[in-house]
Structure 1
Amino acid sequence: MALKECDDVQLRREQALTACCMAAAAEADPQLQPARRAAMLMDCLSVLRAAHPAADAAQLGMGEFRRALRCPLAPLLPTPSESGDRFGELCLLDGDGLARDALQDLYREHLVPQAALERHWPWARVRAEQEERRLYEVLRRLEPQEYRRARALLAESPAGPVRVLRRAWDQLWMRFDFFEAISDWPWCHLDGWWYPCPKCRWPMRVVRRGAEVEVRCEAHRPRGVHYRVGLEPPAAGTAPFLVGTGRQSDPVVGLPASSEHLALSRPVWRYGVLPTLLEIELRNQLQGLAYVQVEMWPGELRPDEYDLKITITLPGRRPKHLRVDAKAWESVEGLARALLEREPKPYPLIILLPDHQGHEVEFLKARLAGRRITVTTLTRLVMRIKKTSGGAR
């Protein structure tokens, strides 16, 4: 079996295993409402069917699925890679339908938080959490210099032709396997082309409303990154021309939506690329301020501690340290839950949100009351630091 094929089978096998764990947790929870249990099982069954070849998936029904959870898992998992594993021998539920201890161990080992097991998260959230945690695991193993380089590359090279990406990521390429083929993402295709956002360089979404077509960046649309398709038909072999309709709609050029063009997975873009861009923008706005020193991505720390350390040293006064953790979550409620599930930090922490989420700052503050956490936006923090330092450059 070719290496790429092997990796694909192993990935599908691990996804199927996670889905089985989620289903077993739902089956074993006597407090779970029947309707919620049914929805969870259907969600997990859909993942299992997608992991198997079409012919095998068609034979997997809900009854067989529920019965199989009480037996060794081999029939529910795709064929293992040549190296093999022992997942097929596992039993997640005992004869009485109770969860075995191995269920919690598997969740931890496959980078799924305990809360997902207890609160029965949907598959989409579990998958996103796995990708985010896998990203942090990769970053955590890098040397400080490599770590800082990887963080910069998240912002500089999140998508593009594979040959260009390989050159940019260089020695980190084989260690950073979060790229996917843009040809598999129909949501960003416009007549066989895709368009990188001028702010984050990730594929923009194509939205069709009858005869109208809008191309926009989901994250930067509030800042005015959106387009319409030009009226003039494109020349043969060229991408449709986009006309900017927002205040920050800089000119963009279409690229072929082929398997030779890759982009970082959506969770890595959301939880890795977007916060990194926010951090870089903060650093750039503070650059050159008198008495202000900005340290980006302290590599000796765990990557999920904080992203920037800002030191303000006024003449004759003790240095003041600000630790900043940038966040770019779509759901501030989801962010609040995630922060509350963490162990409290032994130091004051600033949670930095994009400016367009300024109206949600008070909500997040209220949810985090009692923690040593300040919530603010990029512009507000820059203004605060300029006021504290005198604003001189």
Structure 2
Amino acid sequence: MTYFAFLDICVRVAVKDPPDARSRRDQALTACCMAAAAESDPLLPPARRAAALMDCLAVLRAAHPPERAAQIGMGEFRRGLRGPLGGLLPPASETADRFDALELFDADGLVRDAVQDLCREHLVPHVALQRHWSWARVRAEQEERRLYEILRRLSPEEYRLARALLGKHTAGPVRRLRRAWDRLWMRFDFFEAISDWPWCQLDGWWYPCPQCHWPMRVAQHAATVDVRCEAHAARGVHYRRTPGPAGAGPPELVSTGKKATSVQGLPASTEHLALVRPVWRYGVLPTLMELDLRDELRDLPHVRVEMWPGELRPDEYDLHITVAVPGRRIQNFRVDAKAWESVVALGNALMEREPPPYPLTIVLPDHQDHERHYLAARLRGRRITVTTLSRLVRRVKKACGVSR
């Protein structure tokens, strides 16, 4: 992941009113993320790195009142990037978010995988940056928005097909992908050549995650090389390269996690494609959560699971669970799975929508269980329940009389 890659995801070309407290906090967060990317990019020339840090510092200072801005020097800025960000961010204007404790670098000194998603989810308006960043006109295409617009134009049958394909065919040889996507191939131009993605390559090979099939990240730590799925590492999808000299084929990986089943390296060539990261993050990962829910619930007594109701707009909900136990009130769960890195940005995005005309259940990944209370408080009064995948499974099982 390079510093220049952040230029495509950090700036929204839009004119807005002068930033409020929330926007200033987003502005500071984005400046810190971009500075961290510049600090960690080995391909960035020292002079360009220094210029980028000066630009980011100027944007960070602009997010603070003048008296505080004058106190933030380059030394404090660079030190602050290596620890919790609370010392660099302006105060939150509403319910406390998690960003004061957020750390952009991991224990090995590498920028965390999720920093890209934080930048994408907390985009800074163009008007807030144009006086400081010369690259404010950089293209910042919102691929997930474009995906939703395309999905809205599909017929119900095509929509269900597209969602199923997002769950199964995220990367691989171009011929196989074209065959799988068939008549939808020309309408979904969200694939890129894996040869252009150095972050997932190991000696010219890439490795698909056994759960989402997207390229796993390769991380060098001194004498060891780790390979992990950014989304599923917490579930145990991580590996390590076996020691020894390189051979003719792909390097062999050994499992270091409980869900790290055997994977085969594939050539990182122009003939191997993968969905762009935003579509993977905001299209593939929620789809996999919904498929997991379906598989957990569809064989339960008195439970009916309907996937991707085609008559609805695709951004309303994608799973309808009905529990009809004889002699009891029928229970309905309209479920929308979300895989955002930032529940703060997710809450802001949901608040910008019209409140749903029915009770809606937002499902987060299990690893965000500790953040569901924040999101629930943010959405209070909008007929939205916030839970996690495992919690919803337990709730439905209890509703239909299954204890475990």
Q: TM-score, normalised by structure 2?
A: 0.68
Mark the runs of 5 or more structure 1 residues left unpaired by the alignment: 1-14, 44-111
Contact 1:312 1:321 in 2 (8 A): yes
**Which of the pair has more CA radius of gyration?**
1
1:210 equivalent in structure 2:
222
Q: Against the structure 1 CA distance between its residues 368 and 386, is the aligned structure 2 distance closer, same or farther, given a 3 Å change threshold?
A: same
Say how many residue pairs are matched: 299
Counterpart position of 1:343: 354
What is the aligned counterpart of 2:308 among 286, 297, 310? Answer: 297
Question: Is residue 2:381 matched to residue 1:370?
Answer: yes
Q: Which secondary structure state, in structure 1, belongs to the residue aligned with residue 336 of structure 2? A: strand
Which amino acid is 2:382 matched to?
R
The answer to whether residue 335 in structure 2 is matched with residue 324 in structure 1 is yes
Select which of 299, 314, 320 maps to 1:288. 299
Could you tell me which of 177, 198, 204 is aligned with 1:186?
Answer: 198
Instruction: Give 2:212's aligned residue.
Output: 200
Partners of 2:391 and 2:238 in 1: how far apart?
25
Shift of 1:199: 0.7
Offset of residue 368 of structure 1 = 1.7
2:250 pairs, out of 212, 234, 239, with: 239
Gaps of 5+ in 2: 1-7, 35-119
Q: Which residue of 2 aligns with 1:58?
A: none
Equivalences for 1:1-393 in 2 at 5 Å? 21-22=13-14, 25=15, 29=18, 117=125, 120=128, 130-236=142-248, 238-391=249-402
- Contact 1:289-1:392 at 8 Å conserved across structures: no
With a CA cutoff of 8 Å and minimum separation of 6, indicate the structure with the bigger relative contact order: 2
Q: Which structure shows the higher helix fraction?
A: 1
In structure 2, give the amino acid aligned to 1:261.
H
Q: Residue 359 of structure 1: CA displacement?
A: 1.5
**Separation of aligned partners in 2, 1:377 and 1:20:** 31
Q: Is the 8 A contact 1:234 1:241 kept in 2?
A: no
CA RMSD, 1 decimal: 3.2
The separation in 2 between residues aligned to 1:338 and 1:150, in whole angstroms, is: 24
**CA offsets per residue over residues 247-296 of structure 1, 9 Å max, x none?**
11111110001111000000000000000000000000001111110000
Is the CA contact (8 Å cut-off) linking 1:233 and 1:240 kept in structure 2?
A: no
- Which range moves more in the overlay, 282-291 or 353-362? 353-362
**SS across alignment from 1:208:** strand
TM superposition shift of 1:319: 2.5
Could you say if the C-alpha distance between residues 169 and 30 of structure 1 is closer, same or farther in structure 2, counting changes exceeding 3 Å?
closer
1:267 partner amino acid: P
CA 212–19 in structure 1, closer or farther in 2 if over 3 Å, else same: closer
- Report the CA distance shift for 1:170/1:359 in structure 2 as closer, same or farther (over 3 A): same
| Cα distance, 1:208 vs structure 2 | 0.8
Separation in structure 2 between the aligned mates of residue 279 and residue 120 of structure 1, nearest angstrom: 37
**CA displacement at 1:316 relative to structure 2:** 3.0
The answer to whether the 8 Å contact 1:290/1:392 transfers is no
Instruction: Give percent identity, aligned residues only.
Output: 64
Q: Look up the equivalent residue of 1:289 and give its one-letter code.
A: L
Residues 107-150 of structure 1 show CA distances to partners (whole Å, capped at 9, x for unaligned) of: xxxxx99x9659859999x9777211110111111111111010
3-state SS of paired residue (1:309):
strand
- Paired position in structure 1 for 2:43: none
What is the rounded CA distance, in whole Å, between the counterparts of 1:313 and 1:30 in structure 2? 49
- Counterpart Cα distance in 1 of 2:255 and 2:299: 33
- DSSP-derived class of the 2:166 partner: helix
In 2, distance between residues paired with 1:223 and 1:363?
23
Residues 1:153 and 1:120: Cα distance change in structure 2 (over 3 Å)? farther
One-letter amino acid matched to 2:207: Y
Q: Is the 8 A contact 2:11 2:140 kept in 1?
A: no
State the AA in 1 paired with 2:387.
Answer: T
Q: Report if the CA contact (8 A) 1:128-1:267 is conserved.
A: no
Amino acid at match of 1:218: E
Query: How far apart, in 2, do the equivalents of 1:318 and 1:128 lie?
Result: 48
